[in-house]
Amino acid sequence: MLDSPFAFLAIVIFATLPYESVRQSWGGGLPSPITVHLYHRLAFSDSVDVPAYLVDETERGYYLIHKPHDHRASFIPRDAVASIDFEEAK
């Protein structure tokens, strides 16, 4: 698949250094800043409007983190979410 050790090295360097700083729309791993509007409060929130970062979306719900470099995501079921506002990354 990779004919050159330099190609493999380039992929490893990209995956470990700049990948998490590149916006998802450009193919990177930077989480998207959003505001989630919930139908009711959840255990980790005092409000129905929750600022967060979207890590992943599935047909069952959303995986969110609270700070850009958190390593633990919270799962929010799709039926608990009224709407989501996507914000422009700064």
Are the CB atoms for 53 and 31 separated by under 8 Å? yes
DSSP sequence for the chain = ----HHHHHHHHHHHHTTGGGSBGGGT--BPEEEEEEESS--TT-SSSEEEEEEEEE-SSEEEEESSTT-S-PEEEEGGGEEEEEE----
Per the listing, tokens 């709407």 go with 83
Residues 42 and 58 in one domain: yes
CATH code for the domain of 78 = 2.30.30
Report the pLDDT value the prediction gives residue 83, as an integer from 0 to 100. 93
The one-digit pLDDT tens for each residue of the chain (90 residues) are 556 788 888 877 777 776 666 666 666 667 889 999 999 887 767 888 989 999 889 999 999 998 888 889 999 999 999 999 988 655
Cβ 52 vs Cβ 66: under 8 Å: yes
4 and 16 within one domain: yes
Residues 12 and 23 reside in one and the same domain: yes
At residue 12, what is the residue type? V
pTM across the whole model = 0.69
Domain of residue 42 covers 31-90
- Looking at the structure, tell me whether residues 8 and 19 fall in a common domain: yes
Q: What pLDDT is stored for residue 67 in this prediction?
A: 87
Domains in the chain, number? 2
The pLDDT, as a whole number, for residue 13 is 79
